[in-house]
Chains A and B, each alone.
Chain A
Amino acid sequence: MSDRFDVVVVGAGPGGMAAAAVAAEAGRQVCLIDDNAALGGQIWRGFRTETAQKYPHGNEFLRWEERLRKTNCPLWHGWRAIDCPGPGVLRLDGNREHHDLEFGRLILATGARERFLPFPGWTLPGVMGAGGLQAMVKAGLDPRGKTVVVAGSGPLLLAVAAGLAGVGTNVAGIYEQAPLSQLAGFGLALLGQPAKLFEGARYRLKTLGAPYRTGSWVVRAEGRGRVESVTVTDGAKQWNVACDWLGCGFHLIPNLELPLLLGCRVSGGSVVVDALQQTSLPGVACVGESTGIGGLEKAVLEGQIAGWAAAGREAEARALAPRLRKLQRFAARLERAFALRSELRMLAEPETLVCRCEDVSHAALQDSASWREAKLHTRCGMGACQGRICGTAAEFLFGWECSAIRPPVFPAMVSTLAAEAEAPDPAHT
């Protein structure tokens, strides 16, 4: 089974939606695929047409949803791109079958995930990502009457805590590892934007009642069979906070598996693109968080640039480029503001698991010299998540380069893998 489109867009978050809409409006046959059941990616998860306008940047979501709908661009939900079996072909797995998509141009908008770091107790039920906890609540987990701690690093912590506090959750504390001095420099650089400052203040008001502490972090989670409390430190003293759930994530990292599999050049943890969002691979563009964590506005603008470029409308694409520079500076400031402190490398004890899929402890990894050696000797990173969680942690903990990618980039059905074996001209040999 195969279909052909002028442009295939992978990822239906803000960047992918904008790219698909612009390319389709310019007359190209476009297909937008995503592994989730709805449009919006992570930042617009749970936005509904009827209520989105009440929320910050809800109108932006509605605008792109409307533009996409008018183009009749097909939206393929529940599909994951797992391989590129030949030039111009993307293999999808999902919905209990597989499918090959042929493309003229490919736009990758694979987004980002949270970075998780191991600490004693991080595998206990009830310990989730900060964004993970928010995603679960958006998916129907009832947070009313629960006591939660939100910790880790990044602007996401405040957004998550504000949302939870707003629906009747007791937010016992928000712990940001970055010191105030590091964050203050970041905030001062934004003083030229009063409207947005106001938005920010509104968010903070909603979190009233929950202490937002900078320069502090969770050192351990405890409980019998599930998390019941966490120990927090500010580097000098330690204290205990009781909770039902801990949402803990250390800012975001790009999802690079698909770009790496295809062979796109990656540098400094993100995909390298030119002024038209084109990667090192002809015909393949990349937009949004995978070109550097920079947020919504950057993703939407990059999506539009890639969309115009895919439609052969270079002049329109280039006209948007100057606006992008400001957003790229914002991305660079973000990275500096939420840089991780070295103490976080010391949280894992010898018996603390680093690889949750194969249960590989920190001690077992001590003697490995590289990610490859760790995989061969301990099976670290060889489980179902394919190193997405532990590889990211190991890069920070041990300084390894953890980016060896082979297909399928997500666990796939055996029937899909059988099709893989039959593929006549594998691109990845």
Chain B
Amino acid sequence: MEYLIQIGSAHLELPPLSESFSITVNGKPVPVFEGTSVAAAIIMANEPCRFSVLGEPRAPLCGMGICMECRAIVDGVAQIRTCQLACAPHMEVVTG
């Protein structure tokens, strides 16, 4: 069973319940915590990040900045890899 601790960490910590703030995803307020990624906020808003060439809704796949499925518009800047960006107060995210 050595392989378990060699390749993966089972360490998961839930965020504290205090010190939350909100960002908006397509105008919807989403409560988040210090360190929550924008991609996680988009999933919790139940919105896709983008629509594909054929118009399919897409959401984060790899979670580590490789697949580019989590691209969205953050504070007016397009093509942001939202899995590698932390939420900040007053952030406005637009998907699609």
Contact = CB atoms under 8 A, between A and B. Distances in A.
Interface of A: 35-37, 42-48, 51-52, 55-58, 78, 113-114, 116, 123, 125-129, 131-142, 144, 154-156, 158-160, 162-164, 166-167, 186-187, 190, 193, 196-197, 199-201, 203-204, 206, 225-226, 252, 255, 293-298, 330, 334, 337, 356-359, 383-385, 388-389, 411
A296 B6 contact: yes
A356 B12 contact: no
Contact of A389 (B43, B48, B61, B79): B61
A136 B39 contact: yes
Contacts of B58: 123, 125, 356
Nearest to A360: B53
Contact of A163 (B10, B32, B33, B71): B10
Contacts of A48: 13
Contacts of A357: 53, 68
Which of A56, A134, A138, A388 has most B Cβ within 10 Å?
A138
Contacts of B36: 139-140
B33 to A, nearest CB: 6
B56 interface: yes
A385 to B, nearest CB: 5
Contacts of B57: 125, 225-226
Contacts, number: 213
B52 A359 contact: yes
B contact residues, range: 35 or more
B83 to A, nearest CB: 7
Interface in B52-87: 52-54, 56-69, 71, 79, 83-84, 86-87
Given A36-B84, A123-B52, A132-B63, A141 B43 contact: yes
Given A141-B44, A193-B2, A356-B52, A126 B67 contact: no
Which of B9, B56, B69 has most A Cβ within 10 Å?
B9
A319 to B, nearest CB: 23
A128 B83 CA distance: 12
Contact of B14 (A144, A199, A255, A384): A144
A388 B53 CA distance: 18
B62 to A, nearest CB: 5
B2 A197 contact: yes
A384 to B, nearest CB: 4
Nearest to B14: A167
B40 interface: yes
B63 A46 contact: no
Nearest to B31: A142
Is chain B's binding surface mostly helix, strand, loop or mixed? loop
Contacts of A167: 12-14
B3 A334 contact: yes
A62 to B, nearest CB: 13
A51 B13 contact: yes
Nearest to A195: B2
Given A129-B61, A136-B43, A200-B2, A57 B9 contact: yes
A125 B37 contact: no
A128 B9 contact: no
Which of A45, A58, A132, A252 has most B Cβ within 10 Å?
A132
16 contacts: A36-B84, A56-B5, A113-B62, A116-B62, A123-B58, A125-B57, A132-B64, A138-B12, A154-B7, A155-B7, A159-B8, A160-B8, A196-B2, A199-B4, A200-B1, A330-B3
Given A125-B59, A133-B63, A358 B40 contact: no
Interface string B7-36: 111111111000000000000000011011
B11 A389 contact: no
B12 A131 contact: no
Contacts of A203: 1, 4-5, 10
Contacts of B62: 113-114, 116, 128-129, 131-132, 135, 389
Contact of B66 (A123, A193, A388): A388
B41 interface: yes
Contacts of A154: 7-8
Contacts of B35: 139-140
B64 A141 contact: no
Given A113-B64, A125-B48, A136-B60, 6 more contacts: A55-B10, A116-B62, A167-B12, A186-B3, A383-B68, A389-B67
A43 B48 CA distance: 27
A293 B6 CA distance: 10
Contact of B68 (A43, A255, A411): A411
